Amino acid sequence: MSRKITEAQAVAAMLDRGTRPLAPFPGTQLPWECRCLTCGEVSKPRYNDVVNKGTGVCSKTCRSRKIAAKLMRDGAKAAAVMLQWGWEPVEEYPGAGKPWSSRCITCGTIKPKRLAHVQVGNSSCSSCAGRDITDETARKLMINADLNPLVEYPGTLQPWLSCCLRCNHVGTPTYAKVRMRGHQCWSCRSEKIADALRLGAEEAIASMLEKALEPLAPYPGSTMVPWKARCMVCETVLDPGPMLHNIRAGRGGCSTCAQRGINPAKSGYLYLVVHEDYQALKWGIANLEHRLSQHVSQGWKQVARWDFELTRDAWAFERQVKIWVRSQGIPKALRADQMKYGGHTETALLADISSVDVQQYIESLIGRNA
């Protein structure tokens, strides 16, 4: 069982350790107002901390002196640390926590640096970083980069209204970006990009033909201008035509072909299927195997299939089949909402024409082309 401490014992213990209590003893664990016998300042240490843990009796001047003493370095060692971080002291070492006039080894600027800050990595120079800049200095750099500032220097990272001395375009580059990258002008930059993207007529035509598009007008001179053309697969005339920029990026082309998701330059096939519930037949073309599988999943059954090296050839036969069927006055058999995967315009009722007749007609067409 712990022995109870009397107030007289507590006061004596605190006096032995250098502080005089100014209030009645509150207990071992509570703050006790005392005056330091060394510096004379009043603080509130706890009896248990002072007597049993051995902590200091003064949290004011005495504590600050102890910390400073621990941080105090030999002047030569302190200077070595400063030099290591890019600063050359120009006066005697004042202490770790005090400003120490030092010269930046990189730019020569003299600034008050604290050793306590420098030795933990906070040694950057605001002049080298471009933060200590006058309007005159900043303006000179901008003019050397062919930019004429129209307002006063706003700051390193702030937009600075300036006129380009090359093209007279007014923009808002930042001093930091101009200092790092040189001339900054969106107008000049756009011209450079346009020059890099500009194609010759021969190369432009080759790009169109590669995507099965036949130009019907001279190259407009820009990849961002619509170019009248004819689709070499379905012969649709595109006016206005696609932009070469989209064609070269793999987008655009013939809207009619695009609806089918078919690449006319790849191998493909022409197919014929029938649906017993609808009592209808359908013909169509595709590039991918899953196209036919999609129809099969909806109740259609394959009757025949003809493979082609180029889907554009299969398309020609498909179109002729449609012309032949419709020329007999046979309408399409289904509505769009009855065909989950599309293709209702290439259908006919079995009551109007048999799948055998259509198959024989297709084979006769292919035989003529053999």
Does 2 reside within a domain? no
Q: Is residue 170 part of a domain?
A: yes
- What's the confidence (pLDDT) of residue 347? 94
Q: Using one digit for the tens of pLDDT, what is the confidence trace for 276-291?
A: 999 999 999 988 778 8
Is the model's pLDDT at 144 over the cut of 60? yes
Owner of token pair 């070269």: 248
- pLDDT classification of 257: cutoffs 50, 70, 90: low
pTM, full prediction: 0.36
Q: Same structural domain for residues 293 and 226?
A: no
What is the model's pLDDT at position 196? Answer: 56
Using CA of residue 125, residue 131, residue 136, residue 137, what is the dihedral sign? positive
- Of 8-17, 88-97, 250-259, the least confident: 250-259
What is the span of the domain harbouring residue 311? 268-369
- 129 lies in a domain? no
Residues 292 and 361 in one domain: yes
Residues 277, 333 share a domain: yes
Under the banding of pLDDT at 50, 70 and 90, the label for residue 152 is confident
Of 17-31, 66-80, 332-346, the range with the lowest mean pLDDT is: 66-80
Please report the pLDDT score of residue 2 as a whole number.
57
Q: How deeply is 348 buried, as exposed, middle or buried, from its count of CB atoms within 10 A (0-12, 13-18, 19+)?
A: buried
- In a domain, residue 40? The reply is yes
Q: Quick one: pLDDT at residue 1? A: 45
Summarize the confidence of residues 221-228 as an average pLDDT: 82
**Structure tokens, 280:** 């209808």
Q: How many domains does the chain have?
A: 5
Pairwise CA distance, residues 358 & 324, whole Å: 9
Same domain, 177 and 231: no
- Shared domain for 217 and 305, answered yes or no, is no
Pair 242, 253: CB distance under 8 Å: yes
On whether both 349 and 288 belong to a single domain, the answer is yes
Asked whether residue 141 falls in the same domain as residue 223, the answer is no
Edge-to-edge strands, sheet with 347-349: 301-308, 268-275, 280-286, 347-349
Check whether residue 322 and residue 230 sit in a common domain. Answer: no
Q: Is the pLDDT score of 259 beyond 60?
A: no
Given a cut of 80, whether residue 301 has pLDDT beyond it is: yes
> Omega of the bond prior to 240 within 30 degrees of 0, cis?
yes
pLDDT for 62 beyond 90? no
pLDDT-above-90 percentage for the chain = 26
